[in-house]
Chain A
């Protein structure tokens, strides 16, 4: 499905990784591990096309993602460091907008219920962990999107939410989707293949 060939990333004159190659098939979970500043986020941003690698390329079904652009965007969900929710909108409004921009109809109510978030409260009034949950609700509605790229999906979550995310990732893999995620925690990593980045 996804292929990374000879990726190199240089940030502030420091080479984070060089000639990094791997491929990902359906139903696979890939964990990117490494210390802070080892380039995990940069690698994810390269894989979703936000960042151009200094060398090498990323291919989706053997076509370079640079040529596919929106075509490729439709095949991925990217959850970055920032929760990507608007403070002044409610969790439901945020989720509906995210779905419409991703090009599919929204079923916000059920998704937010699953993560235990009140639909009609402005996100501003939620705690950090609840905000994170509101962001993760996007995964519930993105079942049909084949590739999930998640940056620290377990950050700021309580055990209950961690279990929900675990279940979501496992279900996605069982469905034939692929997941690439970064985390420091060992939770949920058991079933995943690991790539270790050394700065």
Chain B
């Protein structure tokens, strides 16, 4: 079972490596969007410092969503998704592995780049670990919830738009908690509360999302 999950993660990472351009697009999107705000707003350190957590989180959220529609669509097109469904291990495990691979490719790098982006916003040094940690806890939730949407809209015409409409409202709690944790830390109240809630959200979605993704995939494949 674990072997199959590792196999799927390895396969998706290998595929991502062979198509590096697609991965780079999402990361560049994050970099560019987050860098445009300081350029557009100009030199207003207080304003920049105030909007930094929100802007970085929104950019991360959109960038993570950019690659969602491809999550199952490519496997669906070449028939490998049918083989995943007919695999020897439970579909929930495979679904979790797919979401994990998506996170490693499109979520984890964001958490690693974010501290450097924060420099452009003159974010105080003690806040960058909070920002990185909030992204580290929040982006897996985005991948898991997003995968449910991607599975539901599989094979639907105009699925891309539908996917955004379906998934963005569900991202809102993650956005509020993620950006809120940095805001609270900036206000000197510590962001632990929000970070713990994010962690709770992560645990809950780790438990329920794979099951939901598997069910959605079964429905879409009929």
CB distance from A116 to the nearest CB of B (A): 22
User: Across chains A and B, which 8 residue pairs bring their CB atoms closest together, nearest first?
Assistant: A82-B79, A103-B88, A84-B79, A88-B18, A101-B87, A100-B7, A73-B86, A74-B88
> Is A93 within 8 A of B14, CB to CB?
yes
Determine the chain A residues whose CB is within 8 A of the CB of B80 once the complex forms: 84-86
| Contact A70:B90 (CB < 8 A) given known A52-B222, A84-B78, A86-B80 | yes
CB distance from B11 to the nearest CB of A (A): 5
Determine the chain A residues whose CB is within 8 A of the CB of B14 once the complex forms: 89, 93
Q: In this assembly, does A35 line the interface, its C-beta being within 8 Å of a C-beta of chain B?
A: no
CB distance from A7 to the nearest CB of B (A): 15
Q: In this assembly, does A197 line the interface, its C-beta being within 8 Å of a C-beta of chain B?
A: no
Q: In this assembly, does B25 line the interface, its C-beta being within 8 Å of a C-beta of chain A?
A: no
B1-51 residues with Cβ-Cβ distance < 8 A to A are 3-4, 7-8, 11, 14-15, 18-19
Write the residues of chain A forming the contact surface with B, with a CB cutoff of 8 angstroms. 48-52, 69-70, 73-74, 76, 78, 80-89, 93, 97-98, 100-103, 122
B66-84 residues with Cβ-Cβ distance < 8 A to A are 77-80, 82-84
| Contact A82:B77 (CB < 8 A) given known A88-B15, A93-B14 | yes
SS class, residues of chain B in contact with chain A: helix
> Is B88 within 8 A of A51, CB to CB?
no
Q: In this assembly, does B85 line the interface, its C-beta being within 8 Å of a C-beta of chain A?
A: yes
Number of interface residues of B (CB under 8 A): 25
> Is A97 within 8 A of B11, CB to CB?
yes
Write the residues of chain B forming the contact surface with A, with a CB cutoff of 8 angstroms. 3-4, 7-8, 11, 14-15, 18-19, 77-80, 82-90, 94, 221-222
In the complex, the chain B residue whose C-beta lies closest to that of A94 is B80
CB distance from A166 to the nearest CB of B (A): 23
> Is A102 within 8 A of B78, CB to CB?
no
> Is A73 within 8 A of B87, CB to CB?
yes
A100 to B4, CA, bound (A): 6
CB distance from B101 to the nearest CB of A (A): 13
CB distance from B88 to the nearest CB of A (A): 3
